[in-house]
A and B are shown apart, each in its own frame.
Chain A
Amino acid sequence: MSDSLATAAIAAQYEIAERRRRVYSGLVLIFMVVLVIGGVRIAEDVNAGGLWSGLPNIFDYPADILGQAYTKGWEFWTIPFTVQHADHGISHTYFYYLVETLNMALVSTLIGFFLGAIISILASRNLVKNRVIVWVTRRVTDISRAFPEIVIALFLIFIFGKNPIAAVAAIAFHTTGALAKLFSEVNENTDMKPWEGLEASGASWLQKIWFGIIPQVWPNWISYALLRLEINVRASAILGFVGAGGLGQQFKTFVDWKFGADIAAIILLLISAIILIDQLSTWARHYFIGKEAH
């Protein structure tokens, strides 16, 4: 009898908790809706064009570009592999510029990977006893993450001039911070038993890191780095817009000149490249992690 009374009391409590949960969910939902509507309103006030009045014209520009591409006929497909507009000072094929963009992404990801790996270890509370080192390295990663690539790139272009070095440095800086943050989360979730085993046999700090931590974390590190590579391909294409070289720079030029066929060809080239990288990195991630998790 008292048992069923106790159960009833628990059930009543649960009901109250459930009702409270629903109220909270409802409030959050209302808050989100207000936020979205407010954001759209503000955007409309700032823009000269206006969101609703511009909406019907959304397909005009793509139609224009595709129309220009269509008039090229079969010749369109050779655009990426032949030098276009040599008279305007374009010296290489778009495919060449794509390789340049991919190169920028690859080099900056590699630099970010190594720097991020080192910093991530120093920013992991379980691996470094000195709280000051952990705090300082974490703030360093915060700062390097806080600046978008394009801001750093604009700044570096003043120093290095308009060339890929500025873009690579900018992307590497941001990647270091982003990967250091992700890597240190992985590091802090490692099993510390191997570490203790090594410590008890007199291993030095570096030896404990190399044998106790790295074998556990590297598949996850690689996975995050490949994800970052995809992001960096897009980033290095965008950095071309501010004159940092690669395919993005050509793209910006033709957008300004309204060369529709070239714009379509470059977009196609970028999309294919990103799909290819996505496929490759998915395969690589499965290969590395799948092999580990048997």
Chain B
Amino acid sequence: MILNIQGLTKKFGVNTAVDNASFALEKPQMIGIIGRSGAGKSTVLRMVNRMTDATDGIIEFEGRNILTLTGRAKRAWQADCAMIFQQFNLIPRLDVMTNVLMGRLIDHSAIGSILRLFTRDERLQALAALDRLGIAEHAIKRAEALSGGQQQRVAIARALVQDPKIILADEPIASLDPMNAQIVMDALRDIHERDGRTIIANLHTLDTARNYCDRVIGMRDGRIVFDGASHELTETAAREIYGAGAEFDEAATSTSISAISNTAIAEPALAVAG
């Protein structure tokens, strides 16, 4: 058992953001979590990374309850559990290399990191990560000078130099155009397949979840209402997750390029029929 989440609950005052959520991972997987805004997807990831404290429940990683960690042990877990954000969360005014090296802060004292005493090995590692994501030539530019898609790849490079056991991605492609969304999702899939790392991604489009993930978890009002292989995610199941009626049209929510070309092909056919 790699990851075991049992009865995970988060209450903000009287509101229950996550209600008794449980799921487990036997082997490294790429998991997509889907659901409406406010369904509790982000809160689950933030609790796994320990950015938000859980109200109740257990999160065990390789047999250790990570919810009870404090101080340095907690930070060491956060380094093992990299996180990618919708808005990239880079430091805009620092260069790309420094941003990537931020993934190594756990191994440096405050004074050492303030003096930027990163080792040659770490710098090479950071450059290799950037190269893997195809943005090595931007290494000395300021992060804010890059496009959204490039910035998200910098964030993934930062996650890679953490050498994490698990990568959490909170809506990684929600602010990207379809082309960049595909590049970022391909990169995450590649990291899962080649490095064997577990990836849990909150996604806002069903087709992304189906195309890239081995397993899909559906959340509604803080509860897990679907958990299965991605091919089991039928349109009926999707309606249940999103609480939508018959008017729910999956193609309309799609942001992938192939879905657009599909409708483009379908339209002339309709025109002929009309």
Contacts and interface: CB of A to CB of B under 8 A. Distances in A.
Interface of A: 193-194, 196-204, 206-207, 210-212, 215-216, 292
Interface residues of B, number: 31
B79 interface: yes
A216 B93 contact: yes
B87 interface: yes
User: Which residue among B85, B105, B158 has the maximum number of chain A CB atoms within 10 Å of its CB?
Assistant: B105
Contacts of B98: 211
A215 B91 contact: yes
A215 B87 CA distance: 18
B91 to A, nearest CB: 4
B91 A201 contact: no
Given A194-B91, A292-B93, A204 B85 contact: no
A202 B106 contact: yes
Contacts of B108: 207
A203 B105 contact: yes
Contacts of B93: 215-216, 292
Contact of A196 (B89, B113, B158): B89
A201 B49 CA distance: 9
Interface string B66-110: 000000000111110011010111111110001000110110101
Given A197-B83, A215-B93, 10 more contacts: A193-B85, A200-B49, A201-B78, A202-B77, A202-B105, A203-B102, A206-B110, A207-B113, A211-B105, A216-B92
B114 interface: yes
A200 B158 CA distance: 11
Contacts, number: 82
B199 interface: no
B75 A211 contact: no
B110 A197 contact: no
A113 B76 CA distance: 34
A27 to B, nearest CB: 41
B230 interface: no
A132 to B, nearest CB: 19
A198 B114 CA distance: 14
A206 B110 CA distance: 6
A206 B82 CA distance: 20
25 contacts: A193-B85, A193-B88, A196-B51, A197-B83, A197-B85, A197-B89, A197-B90, A197-B158, A198-B102, A199-B51, A200-B51, A200-B78, A201-B78, A201-B79, A201-B102, A201-B159, A202-B78, A203-B75, A203-B105, A207-B105, A207-B108, A207-B110, A211-B98, A215-B91, A215-B93
B233 to A, nearest CB: 28
